[in-house]
């Protein structure tokens, strides 16, 4: 790059932080801004599933080894359908050879640990400036490009000429942590139920994150119920090997939607990244991993341009959108299809559901196909070639 650029990133969540670290590799100044302070950004009781495509991206930016001490890997994945009483267990032997050496299907990380590692890494780059919106406004900076990573409910979407497609599932996810008794600490669970999927992610030995999807009304009712009653209710639908001990930490609830925020044909130098760009149903844990693939694409596009011209930057959003759309559409179709087929009591599609589990249990190529989409994504090989 011939001229030093100024980039503005609005939103200092996991996507905004990774984007600032990625852009710091170039000859530029990055101004990262958020209404919340650092402590409030870090101290949130959330959990993320990490896939192999994300492992490659984080390694690319020198973050994997720094984050690894805070990750908890799982080596088996149980997929079950409670309506038709079918279960399939996927293991590391079902992974492709190029990723099986890790001995993990995926990893789980706490939000606070992830954000702490990212903020420490930001401190190693003198061209990243974390600043409040008010102070940044007083600087009167002219920005070569602005990135908005302000989340699924971003108000910024209404301020710019982007078209927002959205499908509401009329569902919400209730999340909380549970302490269990038993010996199942390295297995993750995806349980399809008529009201929505229930995911269980291992955080450490005998500690699991529960992501419980149901109607918004039911989720609110459970949020406000007595903890002992909630444990009794949850115990009736968990696998037999789970013995619930207690609920710990905070309860969180968030709505579930499918959305895509795409640009009109104008040359404004701004774009949306991560959940502000797209959202999916949380089934399969694709959310944050897809957001970070957005960041990887932004880096790759800029990295290919030895000299960034004004025309290059004007066309930047269209190159970004065209590079990302296939991965996003496929993820939308897969997650939406899983909900449409497996999260209901439609008698007419029971044969499809039973046949799906029969394929999973009897054919290794089907198990590999499922794990490839979940852990590597369509862009995995492109990322791999760049390392």
pLDDT, tens digit (0-9, with 9 covering 90-100), for 13-50: 999 999 999 999 988 999 999 999 999 999 998 999 99
Residue 99: inside a domain: yes
Res 385 pLDDT > 70: no
Q: How many percent of the chain have pLDDT more than 70?
A: 90
Residue 248: inside a domain: no
Residue 99 confidence (pLDDT): 84
Residue 371: inside a domain: yes
pLDDT, tens digit (0-9, with 9 covering 90-100), for 63-83: 999 999 999 999 999 999 999
CATH code of the domain in which 128 resides:
3.50.50.60
Burial of 236 (0-12, 13-18, 19+ CB in 10 A): exposed
For residue 350, the enclosing domain spans: 5-166+257-386
Residue 387 confidence (pLDDT): 44
Cα dihedral sign, 205-206-212-217: negative
Residue 306 confidence (pLDDT): 54
- The winner for highest mean pLDDT among 30-44, 139-153, 262-276, 295-309 is 30-44
Q: How many percent of the chain have pLDDT more than 90?
A: 57
* Structural tokens at position 249: 């930490």
Residue 386 confidence (pLDDT): 46
Residue 48 confidence (pLDDT): 95
pLDDT, tens digit (0-9, with 9 covering 90-100), for 156-198: 666 665 777 888 888 999 999 999 887 667 899 999 999 999 9
Q: What is the DSSP string of 332-358?
A: HHHHHHHHHHHSS--GGGHHHHHHHHH
Residue 216: inside a domain: no
Residue 113 confidence (pLDDT): 96
d(CA 254, CA 324): 25
The total number of structural domains that make up the chain: 1
Res 129 pLDDT > 70: yes
Residue 305 confidence (pLDDT): 61
Position with higher pLDDT, 232 vs 162: 232
Q: Which of 385, 380, 359, 381 is nearest to 370 (CA)?
A: 359
Residue with tokens 């529960």: 210
Res 315 pLDDT > 90: no
Indicate left, alpha or beta for 385 from its phi (over 0: left) and psi (-120 to 50: alpha): alpha
d(CA 252, CA 250): 6
pLDDT, tens digit (0-9, with 9 covering 90-100), for 352-370: 999 999 999 999 989 988 8
Residue 192: inside a domain: no
Residue 265 confidence (pLDDT): 60
Residue 222 confidence (pLDDT): 92
Residue 240, number of CB atoms within 10 A of its CB:
6
Q: What are phi and psi of 208, to 5 degrees?
A: -125, 150
Residue 252: inside a domain: no
d(CA 77, CA 157): 37
Residue 36: inside a domain: yes
pLDDT, tens digit (0-9, with 9 covering 90-100), for 325-360: 889 998 999 999 999 999 888 889 999 999 999 999
Q: Please give the angle made by the CA atoms of 119, 157 and 7, to the nearest 5 degrees.
A: 45
Those residues with Cβ within 8 angstroms of residue 206's Cβ, 6 or more apart along the chain or in another chain: 179, 180, 181, 182, 185, 245
d(CA 234, CA 210): 10
Res 3 pLDDT > 90: no
Residue 250: inside a domain: no
Q: What are phi and psi of 126, to 5 degrees?
A: -80, 0
Q: What is the mean pLDDT of the chain?
A: 88
């Amino acid at each position: 790059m011939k001229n030093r650029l100024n980039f503005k990133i609005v939103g200092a969540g996991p996507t905004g932080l990774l984007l600032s670290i990625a852009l710091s590799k170039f000859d530029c100044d990055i101004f990262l801004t958020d209404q919340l302070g650092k402590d409030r950004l870090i101290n949130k009781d959330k959990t993320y599933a990490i896939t192999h495509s994300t492992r490659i991206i984080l390694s690319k930016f020198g973050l994997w080894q720094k984050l690894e001490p805070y990750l908890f890997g799982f080596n088996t994945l149980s997929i079950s359908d409670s309506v038709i009483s079918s279960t399939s267990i996927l293991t590391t032997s079902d992974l492709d050879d190029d990723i099986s050496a890790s001995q993990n299907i995926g990893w789980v990380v706490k939000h606070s640990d992830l954000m702490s590692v990212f903020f420490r890494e930001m401190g190693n780059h003198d061209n990243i400036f974390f600043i409040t919106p008010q102070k940044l406004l007083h600087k009167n900076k002219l920005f070569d490009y602005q990135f908005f990573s302000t989340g699924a409910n971003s108000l910024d979407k209404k301020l710019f000429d982007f078209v927002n497609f959205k499908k509401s599932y009329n569902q919400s996810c209730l999340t909380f942590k549970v302490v269990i008794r038993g010996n199942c600490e390295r297995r993750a669970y995806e349980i399809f139920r008529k009201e929505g999927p229930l995911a269980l992610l291992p955080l450490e030995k005998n500690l699991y994150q529960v992501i419980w999807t149901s109607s918004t009304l039911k989720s609110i009712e459970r949020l406000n119920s007595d903890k002992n009653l909630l444990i009794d209710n949850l115990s009736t639908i968990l696998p037999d090997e789970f013995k619930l001990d207690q609920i710990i930490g905070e309860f969180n609830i968030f709505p579930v939607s499918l959305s895509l925020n795409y640009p009109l044909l104008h040359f404004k130098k701004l774009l949306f990244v991560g959940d502000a760009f797209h959202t999916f149903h949380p089934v399969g844990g694709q959310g944050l991993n897809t957001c970070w693939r957005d960041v990887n694409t932004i880096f790759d596009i800029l990295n290919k341009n030895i000299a960034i011209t004004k025309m290059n930057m004007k066309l930047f959003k269209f190159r970004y959108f065209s590079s990302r759309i296939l991965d996003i559409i496929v993820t939308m179709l897969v997650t939406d299809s899983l909900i449409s087929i497996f999260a209901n009591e439609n008698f007419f599609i029971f044969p499809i559901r039973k046949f799906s589990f029969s394929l999973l249990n009897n054919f290794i190529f089907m198990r590999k196909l499922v794990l490839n989409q979940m852990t590597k994504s369509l862009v995995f090989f492109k990322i791999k070639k760049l390392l």
